[in-house]
Structure 1
Amino acid sequence: MFKFFKRVSTVVGSELNAMLDKAEDPVKMLDQFIRDMENDIQEVESAVAKQVANEKMLKRKADDAQAKVDKREIQAKEAIEADDDNLAKRALEDKAEHQKQAEMLQESWEMASKDSTELRDKLDEMKKEYQQMKLKKDSLQARAESAKTKTKMNRTMSAIGSDESKEGFERMEEKVLQYEAEADTSEDLSQASRSLDEEFKKLKNHSDVDDELAELKKKMGKE
């Protein structure tokens, strides 16, 4: 009835290593073990309830048989007082039969009471063990989750710090520098082009003013 508790103790005792070696999920496995333990406890609770009911029934029958023994003894005395030996004998014969039944039922009740006590003790033991396993399960699950998180972080950090990642960053840095250089060169060329255009524009404007001045002097006879 308690075979599974031994299995749970073995698994939890070995903690995470055995489950990880079998590629089992410790969190899910520990939850399953706890559920199985709960089912075992329910089984024992049901057995205890039946045993206690049986014990009470035997106790009631034993008390009833003893009550009949006592009753027949009183009746036998009454028959003797009435000088009816025949009736007294019949009462004593029936008393003897009930005495046998009472003794047998008393023995059965004592055995049932002993079994009930043992089952109750075992149930209490199972519940204590269950509470201990439940606390350990919570601890192991927290450690398992922590280990998973650390492993994931370590893998991520390892990837970030790898030579391949560094080379990738260096290539991207070179590209950015190249883009910046190209942008600066493009701006310089654009600036040079604008300066040249402005010089020619000034030259054109200057030429127009000179022509207009000559024309005005001609009209005024100032040539």
Structure 2
Amino acid sequence: MAVLTRFKDIMASNINALLDKVEDPEKMIEQCLRNLRSDLGKVKSETAAVMAEEQRSKRALDELTEEMSKMQNYAIKALEADNETDAKKFLERKALLAAKESGLNEAYKLAASNAVKMREMHDKLVADIGELESRKNMIKSKLSVAKTQERINKIGSSVSSANNSISAFDRMEQKANEALDKANAMAALNAAPKDDIEDLMAKYEKDTNIDNELEALKARLNKN
């Protein structure tokens, strides 16, 4: 039964190892579950066929046992009727049936054993799928958190880059200030020297005007 081999391979596989080999674990989870559900359908169909075979084997064995019992009863009735020849024929038929009993009994035991194994594997697959279904949301939640953390890490890198850019701007501004100060100093050095004599002359010219005004005011007061 090829489906059994396939089933055993699936149950023996390490799903976590498979998840590590793909770029999108979430898609792999869904694919694993789809594969398992598909195999569950095959296992269920095979299990039903094996269980039907068990029932057929049991029915054939029961019918044989019933027929042997019937031949035994007819042989007894024939002897009770003092017909030994007929009794012998019934017993001969019973012997022929008995020769088949061993084979039918062995077939039934094998069919029953297969049915038990298939039912156990079917039930285990159902349980495993149920467990994976319950773990699926948990795994997806972890993947979502991981993706969020990755985005935060990228944002953190961007912030670090921005800080570096700000530092660079600060350095450029400092250089600009230094250049401006140097330029202003150079301009001051290049300016023509100031002649103080003009200020001094202005001082005395101002005083003369005041004296003249004072004399004029005195003259006016004396006149009055």
Correspondence 1:140 to 2:139: yes
Aligned-residue sequence identity (percent) comes to 26
Using the TM superposition, give the Cα deviation of residue 129 of structure 1 relative to its aligned residue in structure 2, in angstroms. 2.2
User: Unaligned regions of 5+ residues in structure 1, if any?
Assistant: 175-223
For 1:70, the equivalent position in structure 2 comes to 69
For 1:126, the equivalent position in structure 2 comes to 125
Task: Give TM-score, length-normalised by structure 1.
Answer: 0.66
CA offset digits 1:26-71 (Å, max 9, x no partner): 1001110111111222221111100010111111111111111000
CA offset digits 1:152-202 (Å, max 9, x no partner): 12212321442378549x79xx9xxxxxxxxxxxxxxxxxxxxxxxxxxxx
CA offset digits 1:101-145 (Å, max 9, x no partner): 233212211211111111111222222222222333322221112
Give the CA RMSD over aligned residues: 2.5
State the number of aligned residues. Answer: 165
For 1:111, the equivalent position in structure 2 comes to 110
Using the TM superposition, give the Cα deviation of residue 97 of structure 1 relative to its aligned residue in structure 2, in angstroms. 1.2
For 2:12, the equivalent position in structure 1 comes to 6
Max radius of gyration: which structure?
Answer: 2
Q: Counterpart of 1:89 in structure 2: which amino acid?
A: K
For 1:33, the equivalent position in structure 2 comes to 32
For 1:218, the equivalent position in structure 2 comes to none
Task: Give TM-score, length-normalised by structure 2.
Answer: 0.66
2-structure distance, mates of 1:47, 1:5: 17
8 A contact 1:41–1:127 mirrored in 2: yes
Q: Counterpart of 2:52 in structure 1: which amino acid?
A: A
Q: Counterpart of 1:5 in structure 2: which amino acid?
A: M
Structure with higher RCO (Cα < 8 A, 6+ apart): 1
User: Unaligned regions of 5+ residues in structure 2, if any?
Assistant: 1-5, 174-224
8 A contact 1:159–1:165 mirrored in 2: no
For 1:198, the equivalent position in structure 2 comes to none
Q: Counterpart of 2:135 in structure 1: which amino acid?
A: K
1-structure distance, mates of 2:139, 2:18: 7
